[in-house]
Structure 1
């Protein structure tokens, strides 16, 4: 396995509200916080670190899909409780996309509009669904993915970690194959770089570190209106 991560503040924002956990060979997490002042940064950091701590102390080692879901649920509880206890944190929340690799088994858990992609056989496959207004419109066929990129309400989430006392977590499992690449990223990448260009970059560079660097660079060159975080995980024989 080869794995690399990079985060960047972008060209517009004054703070980086993205967080990530990079713990090869097993755990990878990206989180994109939201909220006033520094609350978004607090939410994403708290969400990511809570998941890492939960997974570290797991006693149920046979069901990592369940463990990831429970870790995200615990993160939701902790963030929500802090948002209720501190007025400056009221309404804060975060997206979470998490992967746990157990040998050839890849488990994932997800809330929000950060994404998990699988690059396999020269194709870019989006594993997660966006919990956003435009994401649901795309899934229903009401608008196209291209229209979603310029939709005036593209930043409205329909589900986030920490914004309510309960949360529904999407999850799943698949088997990795040799030469697979996983891409976990926040919408600071996907709002700036098309899926066609993401795939082109992933196929152009053999070194996954160069892939991460180029993806983040491309998002910045396209405007960098948001924080940008990307993790590439590559599986080899």
Structure 2
């Protein structure tokens, strides 16, 4: 049976935590990084998590890519409805990275710049693609990955949940192998901790690898909210 660890932290700079993380049975994990003025980002990420859980729990299993995609679309509708009712929430939105596993298969749905990684046999692979301005620059060759990490517009998203009536959602699946580890994280982790450091921590003996990753991001400065969900397969 897989072991799931989740940790979220406000970091060392931000006044509030707009990130959310959740693991619920059987075999679903998700992270969300909210955005918006006042406490609106907090509202958007909380609505995302609540709606996805409610939607999936009401739908027959097994949950496939389309199930996860429909759950994220339901959250998009819920966030837009909340924003239309409360002016202070206008313009809010959130990232969404959802992962579900059953038997030997993992499926995922993704919007924004939170990430899903697969750590297998000592190698860390980024499964999802960031929906961000700088990722577009990297893809067309304008800048390198190293330059993207320090680009002044690295936090500008090209897709988010709850911003427009229709949301484009990436989905995918992969076979789960014995000994695999899956990581879901917000950019508060990946902007502060290198892939090499992440791989080292995931391969280590930390009792709670999610907490260890968050602690590492805080030790590096904790400039944003930090969230990590780690799923270890025996």
TM-score (norm 1): 0.95
Aligned position for 1:65: 65
Within the alignment, does 1:17 sit opposite 2:18 as a pair? yes
| Structure 1 position 136, deviation (Å) | 1.7
Aligned position for 1:206: 205
| Structure 1 position 141, deviation (Å) | 2.6
Is the Cα contact below 8 Å between 1:83 and 1:92 reproduced in 2?
Answer: yes
Is the Cα contact below 8 Å between 1:3 and 1:24 reproduced in 2?
Answer: no
Aligned position for 2:183: 183
Distance 1:99 1:70 in 2: 13
Alignment root-mean-square deviation, CA: 1.2
Distance 1:122 1:184 in 2: 17
1:134-176 per-residue CA deviation (whole Å, 9 max, x = no partner) reads 1222223321111111101001000000001110100011110
Aligned position for 1:86: 86
Q: Give unpaired runs (5+ residues) of structure 2.
A: none
Distance 1:139 1:198 in 2: 23
Q: Give unpaired runs (5+ residues) of structure 1.
A: none
Distance 1:63 1:25 in 2: 10
| Structure 1 position 24, deviation (Å) | 4.2
> Do the aligned partners of residues 208 and 179 (structure 1) sit closer, same or farther apart at CA in structure 2, a change above 3 Å counting?
farther
Aligned position for 1:38: 39
TM-score (norm 2): 0.96
Is the Cα contact below 8 Å between 2:182 and 2:231 reproduced in 1?
Answer: yes
Is the Cα contact below 8 Å between 1:76 and 1:167 reproduced in 2?
Answer: yes
Is the Cα contact below 8 Å between 1:116 and 1:184 reproduced in 2?
Answer: yes
| Structure 1 position 63, deviation (Å) | 5.2
> What SS does the aligned partner of 1:152 have?
coil
Aligned position for 1:96: 96
Aligned position for 2:196: 196
> What SS does the aligned partner of 2:107 have?
strand
Is the Cα contact below 8 Å between 1:208 and 1:233 reproduced in 2?
Answer: no
> What SS does the aligned partner of 2:17 have?
coil
> Do the aligned partners of residues 118 and 208 (structure 1) sit closer, same or farther apart at CA in structure 2, a change above 3 Å counting?
farther
Q: After alignment, is 138-147 or 155-164 more displaced?
A: 138-147
Is the Cα contact below 8 Å between 1:116 and 1:127 reproduced in 2?
Answer: yes
1:68-87 per-residue CA deviation (whole Å, 9 max, x = no partner) reads 00000110011012112211
Distance 2:141 2:180 in 1: 29
Is the Cα contact below 8 Å between 1:2 and 1:208 reproduced in 2?
Answer: no
Is the Cα contact below 8 Å between 1:75 and 1:162 reproduced in 2?
Answer: yes
Aligned position for 2:116: 116
Is the Cα contact below 8 Å between 2:63 and 2:100 reproduced in 1?
Answer: no
